Homo-oligomer: A and B are copies of this chain.
Amino acid sequence: MNIGEIARRAGVSRSTVSYALSGKRPVSDDTRRKIQQVIDELGYRPNASARALANGRTNAIGLVFPPAGNHYTGMQLDFIGSVVEAAAAYDYDVLLSPSGVDSDHSFQRLLGERRVDGAILMEIRLEDDRVAHLADLGFPSVAIGRTAHPEGGWWVGLDHTGLAAACVHHLADLGHTRVAFVNRPEQLLRAGYESAHRGLDGFTKAAAERSLTVRTYCCGDDAASGQECLERVLHDDPATTALVTLNEAALGGLYRGLAQAGRHVPRDFSVTGVVASRWAETVTPQLTAADVPAAEMGRRAVDLLVERLDHPEASPRHHLLAPPISLRASTGPAGTGTTP
């Protein structure tokens, strides 16, 4: 069951078995065959802990994903799936860590106890102590998202500012003048979540450029909050004819609120935002949105991390993605702007 047993049965030394397996030194064809045969017979696989101890690499990466509020969003699911898949292609295992902050128990385990060779961080904040901490330590990591000071870092990010602005311009081009912005929960905005801040910025600036009348809202990550938020929107300004949202989980609730207020989408009211395509397509009418390329981002994050692990001295790299808006069926020309 261990390398000594294999060596004994093959009539060679333990080091020879090791070299036969790793190929780091030449081994004659005869002995290699003999060893391989014994290994196949016994179904031997080298112990991962022992190997990790000996050569200092665990062949595992950590995926740090703090829960957004108290449950996970669909986008996180997409990230997790693509990261696991990409990592598997490089023969890396993925360890999940539900860590919130730098002082977090599970975060410490991953790093301090050397369970992983590198980490991928999700749900980045503009001032993120995890990112700062890892940078100080020189610990190999890649962020999905970027902080306020992204220079010299490894990350793959989304141009939330540009994307939100694109949504505004799309609506302004259609003649909308009174537009609402539905953001992630207030708690996340206050915590400094990148997407919430940059999205809000992009929205506000573009709206000013186009001289739109706007109101901005925070909204819980669930359908009930979405519905309640939409009621607030129409209560505050019944003449609102369109909204932009970053809040995937609230989308169904927003639609329900519109239906109950008797606003038909897209005839009376236009909806757009930044949402992964697979969720944009579950609502009716399908959402015109900037599709978050979650699968691609996860894959690229792994590519970057592996590159960093293989070349410790490589200089920092990043990818900033700005997917175009996919026209579906939830936006249309502005109507009268009052009750239908």
Instruction: Give A residues with C-beta under 8 Å from B.
Output: 43, 45-53, 58, 60, 63, 67, 71-72, 74, 76-78, 80-81, 84-85, 88, 93-98, 105-106, 108-110, 112-115, 222-224, 249, 251-253, 255-256, 259, 278, 281-284, 286
Contact = CB atoms under 8 A, between A and B. Distances in A.
A85 B71 contact: no
B53 A47 contact: yes
Contacts of A52: 49
A81 B106 contact: no
A88 B67 contact: no
A179 B50 CA distance: 58
A171 B255 CA distance: 27
Contacts of A97: 93
A94 B283 CA distance: 33
Contact of A96 (B53, B67, B80, B283): B80
Contacts of A259: 284
Contacts of A113: 45-48, 51
A215 to B, nearest CB: 23
Task: Please tell me how many copies of the chain the complex holds.
Answer: 2
Contacts of A105: 88
A100 to B, nearest CB: 11
Nearest to A250: B282
Contacts of A50: 49, 53
B115 A278 contact: no
Nearest to A94: B96
B77 A74 contact: yes
Contacts of A71: 78, 81, 278
16 contacts: A45-B112, A47-B114, A48-B109, A49-B53, A51-B113, A53-B53, A67-B81, A72-B77, A85-B98, A88-B105, A93-B95, A94-B95, A223-B281, A252-B283, A252-B284, A256-B284
Contacts of A256: 284, 286
A113 B51 CA distance: 10
A249 to B, nearest CB: 8
Contact of A84 (B53, B81, B85, B98): B98
A249 B78 CA distance: 14
A166 to B, nearest CB: 24
A108 B43 CA distance: 11
Nearest to A83: B96
A223 B253 CA distance: 18
A188 B43 CA distance: 31
Contacts of A115: 48-49, 60, 93
A95 B52 CA distance: 16
Contacts of A278: 71, 222-223
